[in-house]
Amino acid sequence: MFNEVKKGVEKLGNLTSEFQQLPPSEKQKEYMLDLLREYNVGMAKLKQYAPEEVDGNAVGFNYDNPDELVEKLGMTSDQEVMLTTVLTNELKQHISKEKKIPLYQIELRMTHVKDVKIDYDYLTELVEQLLNQVHNGQTAEAQETQEKINQFANGLDDRNYATKIMNAAIAIIKGYFPPEGSNFKYPVRLSDSEPIIRAANNVSLDRMFLDFRVKWGITDIITSAQMRELFSHHRFGLQDLDDTGQIRDIIAQASSDYKTLAHDEKVQSLSKIKYRNGLREAIYELADELVEN
């Protein structure tokens, strides 16, 4: 079993440029998913075995030194964390988006060699940096900090909170947060990032609703708050938003003036029937995206 897992680790290392990034092709990503599942099964079994001799080496799980097994398999402790949290979550997100299936349907819950400690002080430091860099016009540095925030988020098992963190970073880097007129004090000094993440995530969602309404020309027909309420009872993949005819009413009203009210040229150029079908489909896609996150 040890040698099988070790071979799998070697293949995963080659695929991911030594546990740094996802492989480029779709076929390789599918192969990585298979290898991770095999690794998971093998590692779960190895954790049940006490150290034993294999080719002159003691292999198995030593609770006093959990990193020992990882190193014998050909990884550092940091690489193991990167593989089983960050890269695994990035892979699941990619497959979810490509195949249009919710994250929870992708069966891949990793076995960790030891408990992964989450350093929320580091997250606070990154959010503080991002706010100050955006304020100071340091675009390249801000993008680098956003990447670090996304990597931190992809290391969390709580995918709901991870999405909020990434949404918050988007809102900050695009200048949506802090909102104009909020008297935000610079340079920012944070003792806790949670209130900023919560507020910036809400701004990010509101902006997403606004952009959607502007694109499709429905700003005068439904508010962002009404859309949030409409989607609040939606279940992923179900056509369940029109029980009271609300979607039907929105589409009926929108289809009379969309050529002048829609800001997107492609939307403006649609025939009436294509607009109606396109808007319905887009509403359900947005609802699915929100429910999944």
With bands split at pLDDT 50, 70 and 90, how would you rate the model's confidence at 237? Answer: confident
Q: Which residues sit opposite 57 in a β-bridge?
A: 54
Residue predicted with more confidence, 195 or 49: 195
CA–CA distance, 178 with 196 (Å, rounded to integer): 9
| Cα distances (Å, whole numbers) of residue 33 to 8, 14, 30 | 12, 14, 5
pLDDT surpasses 80 at 196: yes
CA–CA distance, 249 with 64 (Å, rounded to integer): 64
Which is nearest to 165 in space by CA: 210, 132, 120? 120
Q: Are 182 and 158 in contact (CB under 8 A)?
A: no
pLDDT tens across 160-180, in order?
899 999 999 999 999 999 988
Q: What is the rounded average pLDDT of the residues 71-88?
A: 90
**Burial class of residue 242 in the structure, from the number of CB atoms within 10 Å of its CB (0-12 exposed, 13-18 middle, 19+ buried):** middle
Share of the chain above pLDDT 90, in %: 62
Token pair 């004090």 in the structure block, residue: 185
Which sequence spans correspond to the domains of the chain?
2-105, 120-202, 217-292
pLDDT surpasses 70 at 73: yes
Q: What is the rounded average pLDDT of the residues 45-63?
A: 63
Which is nearest to 278 in space by CA: 234, 223, 217, 192? 217
Q: Is the pTM of this model over 0.75?
A: no
pLDDT recorded at residue 243 = 80
Neighbours of 154 (CB within 10 A): 21
pLDDT recorded at residue 233 = 85
Q: What is the rounded average pLDDT of the residues 3-16?
A: 93
pLDDT tens across 90-135, in order?
998 898 888 877 776 776 766 655 566 788 999 999 999 999 999 9
Q: Are 109 and 91 in contact (CB under 8 A)?
A: no
Phi-psi region of 216 (alpha: psi -120 to 50; beta: other; left: phi over 0): alpha
Q: What is the rounded average pLDDT of the residues 256-276?
A: 96
| Cα distances (Å, whole numbers) of residue 2 to 23, 53, 60, 73 | 25, 11, 8, 8
pLDDT surpasses 80 at 54: no
pLDDT tens across 199-230, in order?
999 999 999 999 999 999 999 999 999 999 99
pLDDT recorded at residue 109 = 65
Neighbours of 31 (CB within 10 A): 15
Token pair 């699941």 in the structure block, residue: 92
CA–CA distance, 264 with 241 (Å, rounded to integer): 24
pLDDT recorded at residue 112 = 59
Q: Are 149 and 126 in contact (CB under 8 A)?
A: yes
